[in-house]
């Protein structure tokens, strides 16, 4: 079972949805969360990425997201992001639903992207909701309208997912006959429920099998780096397209 098998599945599919996680961005220099080099190995997410930390540990919360936003500036989409954008253009992928908050799929040219966990590129006031500039957050500003705390539009632990992105993804997953899950441990609810909501074929591309991913009945598992495996699939597909 190789990239060639996945290329065949893509050719035979009428509607393919891709679900990505932090492992999709590590080859762009952004650490993931739960692998041996992941952020949560050294940082407690409850202290820096939860509604409680926003309320009670704002300085640590702000510092954590300032660090992530600043680090993002030097990160560019890698070949895997570009290949998925190309697949969309060729009518081979109908939606990229991502847990990532880095907007690298959009930077790579993907148009139909559902941000299931929001993003850290845009900022709002926690109290009045008014949008603010990234620089204002990086410069320790408060809300210019109500003096409230500024925060990225990321979904924090304890918050619900954005309804539009969730419902659009659910709809697409129900319609899909192929779901390709890339670079996620599938540890985080409710996104980790989505693959099993599909009636289609399920494919998993990840550097390792995780304790959770082992519970899924994938039709195909490709262990390795997302960028390299997608490059192999791209090669196997040649100039095949559906548009
Ligand atoms: N190619 C393929 N897989 C990779 C790569 C790569 N280049 N790099 C890392 N991986 C794998 C890791 O082995 C790990 O199993 O990607 C997985 C990433 O899992 P997590 O770090 O748990 O990230 P994710 O599943 O996206 O986390 C979900 O948790 O912390 C919250 O909100 C955060 O959106 C995030 C959510």
Q: Which of 117, 174, 215, 234 is catalytic?
A: 117
| The token pair that represents 201 in the structure block | 């074929």
Residue 1, pLDDT > 80, answer no
Distance CA 196, CA 166 (A): 15
The reply to whether ligand 1 has any atom less than 6 angstroms from the CB of 195 is: no
User: Which of 3, 23, 30, 218, when mutated, tests ligand 1's pocket best, judged by the most ligand atoms within 8 Å of its CB?
Assistant: 23
CA of 4 to the centre of ligand 1 (A): 24
Q: Can 174 be counted among the known catalytic residues? A: no
Residue 100 CA, closest ligand 1 atom number: 34
Residue 180, pLDDT > 70, answer yes
Residue 84, pLDDT > 80, answer yes
The pTM score is: 0.97
The reply to whether ligand 1 has any atom less than 6 angstroms from the CB of 22 is: yes
CA of 226 to the centre of ligand 1 (A): 11
Mean pLDDT of 87-107: 98
Query: What tens digit of pLDDT does each residue of 118-156 get?
Result: 999 999 999 999 999 999 999 999 999 999 999 999 999
Residue 243, pLDDT > 80, answer no
The reply to whether ligand 1 has any atom less than 6 angstroms from the CB of 156 is: no
Residue 212, pLDDT > 90, answer no
The reply to whether ligand 1 has any atom less than 6 angstroms from the CB of 118 is: no
Distance CA 230, CA 53 (A): 37
Query: What tens digit of pLDDT does each residue of 14-36 get?
Result: 999 999 999 999 999 999 999 99
Distance CA 129, CA 143 (A): 9
The reply to whether ligand 1 has any atom less than 6 angstroms from the CB of 231 is: no
Distance CA 237, CA 3 (A): 10
């Amino acid at each position: 079972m190789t990239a060639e098998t996945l290329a065949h599945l893509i050719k035979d599919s009428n509607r393919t949805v891709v679900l990505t996680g932090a492992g999709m961005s590590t080859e762009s220099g952004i650490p993931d969360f739960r692998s041996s080099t992941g952020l949560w190995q050294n940082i407690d997410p409850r202290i820096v990425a939860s509604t409680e930390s926003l309320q009670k540990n704002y300085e640590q919360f702000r510092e954590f997201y300032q660090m992530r936003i600043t680090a993002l500036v030097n990160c560019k989409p890698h070949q895997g992001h570009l290949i998925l954008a190309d697949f969309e253009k060729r009518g081979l992928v109908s939606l990229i639903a991502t847990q990532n908050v880095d907007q690298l799929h959009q930077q790579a040219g993907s148009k139909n992207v559902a941000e299931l966990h929001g993003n850290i590129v845009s900022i709002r006031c926690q109290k009045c909701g008014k949008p603010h500039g990234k620089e204002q957050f990086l410069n320790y500003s408060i809300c210019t309208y109500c003096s409230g705390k500024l925060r990225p539009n990321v979904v924090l632990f304890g918050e619900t997912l954005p309804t539009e992105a969730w419902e659009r993804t659910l709809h697409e997953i129900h319609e899909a006959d192929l779901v390709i899950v890339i670079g996620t441990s599938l540890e985080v609810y409710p996104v980790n429920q989505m693959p099993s909501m599909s009636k289609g074929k399920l494919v998993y591309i990840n550097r390792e099998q995780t304790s959770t991913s082992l519970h899924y009945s994938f039709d195909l598992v490709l262990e390795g780096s997302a960028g390299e495996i997608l490059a192999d699939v791209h090669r196997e597909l040649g100039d095949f397209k559906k548009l």
